[in-house]
Copies of this chain bind each other. A is one copy, B any other.
Amino acid sequence: MRPTLSDVARLAGVSVATASRALSNPDLVADGTRRAVRDAANSCGYRINLVARSLRIQRTDTLLVLTPDIENPFCANLLQGIEDTAFDMGYSVMVGFTAKGDRRCESYAELLSNGRVDGMLVLDGGTGMSRFTGPKPEVPVVQLLDRVYEPPVPVVRVDDGAIADLAVRHLSGLGHRRIAHIAGPLVAQHALERRDGFIAAMGRLGLPVPDTYIQAGEGQWDQASGAMELLLNLPEPPTAVYCADDMMACAAMDVCRARGLRIPEDMSFIGTNDMPESQRAFPQLSTVRVPDASLGAKAAELLVAMIRSQQGLATDTVLPVELLARASCSPVRTAVAA
């Protein structure tokens, strides 16, 4: 049998109360007593039972993070960022993958309502979490990137319209006018807003956006490749492409290379997120960096603040993005076109 606090108390010749204090609140106890209790604990190999402690103090010091998956390196980084600051604040993290279906989501949401975790951090990729946790502002939930619950459930995100605008202006600054967009999974709000932001930015610059210049990439390698094929087969192909995601940009670049096009001379590319593969791509991919680590850190901090029921917390936190001009964009070649 594992020794309990009362075993320690008996060994040390004190009450359980004192043993508890000596171990978790040493200041409340006399020097000698403290030493006696510690010795007793060591000698019998005592380890506190955290479950009992949790029941008593009514918190688990555990956070649940929900993410569609972690095949996407961006999500993986986010998760690591969250775990990192959670750890520093004394929290452990449980993880659930929502892309696996509704039954899973429901089951995960119950960990929160059933008291197994103190709070939940949801990074939704268009999965239907909203069906399972209604907008109950009283439970500690913070959303990452996409708003799936109404305010006052807080969200930590970037400005996706601004991202698209940055990308488009970079390209237009290089003289491009025929700019296409390969969109992400439009079930996810951020993908939708990047697409709409793309249209808006083009409009502001007076550049035309034929329907065919917006292709569905769905955040998938293969679909993005297909989207690029379609763009290249257009009677009047674009000279530059803004992709809602770096992985799709890499896929699209590969298609161009396979067709013998030079990048950036024949086709310029700009992605989003600054994933690890962007710097490894050839040529290195220009992108709009989304600060994954800070996003995760901010979200974790906010969640913990909610758990500790602090007041007046931000309900919408927008973190800055950054244009990273690398080698995949160049000035447009002056068209000698028909």
Contact = CB atoms under 8 A, between A and B. Distances in A.
Interface of A: 47-52, 54-55, 60, 62, 69-71, 73, 76-77, 79-80, 83-84, 87, 92-97, 100, 104, 107, 110-111, 113-116, 221, 250-251, 254, 257-258, 276-277, 280, 282
B92 A93 contact: no
Secondary structure class of chain A's binding surface, majority of residues: helix
A49 B137 CA distance: 20
A82 to B, nearest CB: 10
Given A47-B113, A52-B55, A95-B93, A80 B76 contact: no
Given A51-B54, A92-B111, A80 B87 contact: no
Contact of A100 (B55, B79, B84, B280): B84
A80 B55 CA distance: 30
A51 B55 contact: yes
A161 to B, nearest CB: 29
B280 A251 contact: yes
A254 B115 CA distance: 50
A62 B114 contact: no
Given A84-B100, A104-B87, A282-B258, A115 B76 contact: no
Contacts of A97: 80, 83-84
A107 B87 contact: yes
Chain B CB within 10 Å, residue with most, of A51, A96, A280: A51
Nearest to A71: B76
Nearest to A281: B254
A254 B283 CA distance: 11
A95 B71 contact: no
The 7 closest A-B pairs by CB, nearest first: A50-B114, A50-B116, A70-B76, A49-B115, A47-B113, A51-B54, A51-B55
10 contacts: A47-B114, A47-B115, A50-B111, A50-B115, A52-B55, A70-B80, A71-B80, A76-B76, A83-B97, A93-B95
A19 to B, nearest CB: 16
Nearest to A95: B95
